[in-house]
Amino acid sequence: MDFVVTSELAVPPGSGDVLEEAFRNRLGEVEDHDGFLRLEVWRDSRADDRYLMVSWWRDEAAFASYLRSDAHRRSHARIPAGPHRPRGIGLARYEVVAR
């Protein structure tokens, strides 16, 4: 059964391009982790300062393992500090029941 994690992010004005590059780099940090299936980042079509990050995992244990990993710490280090850093505004976890 797949496990899905969504994270809503608010981005400071003018920081979208910087953040999108960090997201592309982040894919390289997570794609080889055991149990990782897919990561997508969506920008709100009505609000340039809002993003939704969605990741798919084999199960919740795989996601929990990633959270404890060095790869997770490295992936967050790529997100710029200072005025460009996004602010998390929501995190949700789901199990896939139908596809």
Report the percentage of the chain scoring pLDDT > 90.
Answer: 18
Q: Which of 3.30.70.100, 3.40.630.30, 3.30.1490.20, 3.40.50.410 would CATH assign to domain 3-95?
A: 3.30.70.100
pLDDT over 90 (residue 57): yes
Q: Please report, to the nearest 10 degrees, the dihedral formed by the alpha carbons of residues 19, 25, 30, 32 taken in order.
A: 160
Exposure on the CB side of residue 40, measured as CA atoms within 13 A = 6
Exposure on the CB side of residue 63, measured as CA atoms within 13 A = 20
pLDDT confidence tier of residue 14, bands split at 50, 70 and 90: confident
CA distance 8 to 81: 18
pLDDT over 70 (residue 99): no
CA distance 6 to 94: 8
| Direct distance between the N- and C-terminal alpha carbons of the chain, in angstroms, rounded to an integer | 11
pLDDT confidence tier of residue 37, bands split at 50, 70 and 90: very high
Distances (CA, A) of 67 to 15, 46, 62, 63, 64: 25, 31, 9, 6, 5
Domain boundaries, the chain: 3-95
pLDDT confidence tier of residue 35, bands split at 50, 70 and 90: very high
